[in-house]
Structure 1
């Protein structure tokens, strides 16, 4: 390889690394620069890289679904690309500071063009959204691919990066952040610290992705969804029979409902608050604090009435009505039945 070729390769590799910007930078459209080598792209199938545009030549590496690429040139049904094959983007916030700049460079090679979506693909955002949603559905299927959730995350992320002006942008950003949140939430729940009462004593989920959705897509349902997810880090792990947990959590959910009155999650938030007031009704009663028990009972009634008024068709409204019915009948919602 000549010096000029080597320098060109390094420049192309650097372009790919730089174009893999965080979600926040993608929304600063005035500063968004196209990679010099060509359009961004990603494959929808596991794809081999070859030394040249020939299936009989040596394989250089393999590119997974959703991984980032930059197209350098095209020859018939082949593309010469610089592809990121092994950078794990999902856990960049966990990386040691001293490793921040030690990112493996992308590798170059020839790839078959079929199944590759680029910035120039007609309706490419729709195609990526469909592919990501398909992988997300597979993730909930016990027979689905092991890494389907992470693949869906990458595809949603590619949509945001490759099509920053798409109408699907906000939803794709939310879904990408939500997938990582759910993966971390499951991991946190599996740890012994999950039973700790105070939220700060258990493994906290990384809030960065969700906060960026709120910041860069304000006044959207995607931002509403992200704000609701963030409540998870504020909840008790295990109430341990203590009244302070449902008291605080009821406040948290009611505050969310007040700040996001039109959110699709608001009925759920009001129900969660009503449930905690129903629980407090029983907790206070067991402590012979009849005054607080009656106040919590009335609070639960008020929340159920608010649900009936604003969200009459919601399942959460019916569930809240069921809670109030039980309280009115003297049936315990939390703990052992009074009878």
Structure 2
């Protein structure tokens, strides 16, 4: 009987189906499980890896070491149609977080918070915000059922949103009145949050952020801009009255209506000026009644005083 040893050859692990992991610090990727072997690259915090093999304190992985692209939504490293293969190599175990790491979700989330705070400091290290974003993302990838996952997904989306919003603000198109003429942050992750966690504060945070893409860049003297923007914020407060953002939304609505009133007055349309100012006072009064203890309630009281005393808001109190 002929033996067919090829039939019994061990198949190489498939990275698409292998356990996933990440690292919480810049980690050297070696050709072999030995620090004396060639160093292939460095795996940055939060990069997704596939675990292929373990040998003592060494782990063989496929790791994505490509530079982060912030203009496109993050995709899983390993997909059926991945155009480029990640680098195969060995990393040392300390600093590697996998789904079976004890208290791994808390560890990963905590490191992400630290990175996010570091990114907000003056002279922050380049890439620290993206480190935080990737680390938060991996909380959801490795620990989808953890209680921290909804917040981690929000923070993942928010960091990207803020980075893209900042980039867009530097372009000449940022001053265009119509929102569709401006470069806008990608809405994919925010809308995913709304779908996955309806009725939660994380969904409300996403909905509030999405208002950014509806706002005028520059009002250019058009009263319809603050009026329409006020309606967006008022609609948000109606839909999410228990959101931590609800009080702020009402203040934004009231302030914009007061501005519209000033603009109508400058255009000698006293009737429409009076109507917008009346709506501003009503909105700010509702804010004070519904969210009494918030700073925005106090700011609303100040706004009411200015409107009732005919103190201009637009141009002198521009936010």
- Map Cα deviations across residues 70-116 of structure 1 (whole Å, 9 max, x no partner): 22222222111121111646444599xxxx94632112211111111
Aligned counterpart, 1:268: 248
Q: Does 1:163 align with 2:163?
A: no
Q: 1:4 to 1:197 in 2, by over 3 A?
A: farther
Aligned to 1:308, which of 259, 266, 288? 288
Aligned counterpart, 1:182: 162
Aligned to 1:289, which of 262, 269, 288? 269
Indicate if the aligned counterparts of 1:85 and 1:106 stay in contact, CA closer than 8 A: yes
Aligned counterpart, 2:37: 57
Alpha-carbon deviation of 1:52?
A: 1.8
Indicate if the aligned counterparts of 2:251 and 2:296 stay in contact, CA closer than 8 A: yes
Q: 1:141 to 1:74 in 2, by over 3 A?
A: same
Question: TM-score, with normalisation over the residues of structure 2?
Answer: 0.91
Aligned counterpart, 1:256: 236
CA–CA separation in structure 2 for the residues paired with 1:106 and 1:133: 27
**SS of the residue 1:12 aligns to:** coil
**SS of the residue 2:14 aligns to:** helix
Q: Does 1:204 align with 2:206?
A: no
Q: Does 1:146 align with 2:126?
A: yes
Aligned counterpart, 1:12: 14
Question: TM-score, with normalisation over the residues of structure 1?
Answer: 0.85
Residues 77-92 of structure 1: matches in 2 within 5 Å?
77-86=57-66, 88=68, 90-92=70-72
CA–CA separation in structure 2 for the residues paired with 1:6 and 1:301: 78
Q: Unaligned 5+ residue runs, structure 2?
A: 1-5
CA–CA separation in structure 2 for the residues paired with 1:46 and 1:104: 22
Aligned residues: 308
Alpha-carbon deviation of 1:251?
A: 0.8
* Structure with higher helix content: 1
The two structures, once aligned, show a CA RMSD in angstroms of: 2.3
Alpha-carbon deviation of 1:201?
A: 0.8
Alpha-carbon deviation of 1:240?
A: 0.8
CA–CA separation in structure 1 for the residues paired with 2:310 and 2:246: 28
Alpha-carbon deviation of 1:170?
A: 0.6
CA–CA separation in structure 2 for the residues paired with 1:4 and 1:265: 62
CA–CA separation in structure 2 for the residues paired with 1:4 and 1:71: 25
Alpha-carbon deviation of 1:142?
A: 1.9
**SS of the residue 2:42 aligns to:** strand
Q: Unaligned 5+ residue runs, structure 1?
A: 16-34
Indicate if the aligned counterparts of 1:135 and 1:151 stay in contact, CA closer than 8 A: yes
CA–CA separation in structure 1 for the residues paired with 2:235 and 2:93: 51
Aligned counterpart, 1:279: 259
CA–CA separation in structure 2 for the residues paired with 1:307 and 1:128: 38
Q: 1:6 to 1:295 in 2, by over 3 A?
A: farther
- Map Cα deviations across residues 234-274 of structure 1 (whole Å, 9 max, x no partner): 00000011101011111111111111111111111100000
